[in-house]
């Protein structure tokens, strides 16, 4: 808005100077009062200051646009990283569930194998006990029928008489 006002003032001033030059009359100090000259000079210097400020505003706008783009890129990068991390976590969750299922299956198989081992040990113990019992029976001397002492004496005499 202020730029338009400055341009308008400059245009009016330029037209005023052109009109005076066409008329051929010299610019007279009495025609343009000194206070108007000061206003014109102030307007021109204000216009230059405004132009400088507009340049600074343009620089600030460009900087803000650059920063805004960087922030947008940062958010986009974070969002992409977040998506990647979500996928990784999802994969890890599936892997952990598979491990849990596998562990449960192995636990069941281990319990079944333990039961089978216990049954085999029990059968082996039974077989060992039966074998020991048979060995004990074989080692015991059979009760011989002991002859009576009178018969024994006769047997010993018969053996002594028999020629060898």
pLDDT of residue 13: 76
**CB of 47 closer than 8 Å to CB of 10:** yes
Q: In angstroms, rounded to a whole number, what is the distance separating the alpha carbons of residues 42 and 7? A: 14
Dihedral-angle region of residue 69 (phi above 0 means left; psi in -120 to 50 means alpha; beta otherwise): alpha
pLDDT of residue 75: 83
Q: Which parts of the chain have pLDDT scores under 70?
A: 1-2, 4-6, 19, 21-52, 137, 139-164
* End-to-end Cα, the chain, rounded Å: 159
Name the residue ranges covered by the structural domains of the chain.
2-132
pLDDT of residue 71: 84
């Amino acid at each position: 808005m202020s730029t338009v006002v400055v341009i308008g003032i400059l245009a009016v001033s330029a037209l005023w100077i052109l009109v005076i030059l066409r008329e051929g009359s010299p610019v007279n100090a009495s025609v343009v009062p000194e206070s108007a000259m000061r206003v014109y000079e102030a307007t021109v210097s204000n216009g230059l200051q405004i132009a400088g400020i507009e340049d600074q505003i343009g620089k600030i706008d460009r900087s803000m646009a650059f920063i805004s783009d960087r922030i947008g890129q940062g958010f986009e990068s974070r969002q992409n990283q977040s998506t990647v991390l979500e996928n990784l976590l999802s994969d890890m969750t599936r892997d952990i569930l598979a491990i849990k299922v596998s562990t449960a299956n192995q636990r069941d198989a281990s319990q079944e194998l333990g039961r089978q081992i216990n049954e085999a040990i029990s059968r082996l113990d039974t077989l060992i006990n039966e074998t020991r019992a048979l060995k004990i029976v074989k080692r015991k001397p059979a009760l011989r029928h002991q002859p009576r002492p009178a018969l024994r004496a006769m047997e010993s005499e018969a053996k002594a008489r028999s020629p060898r």
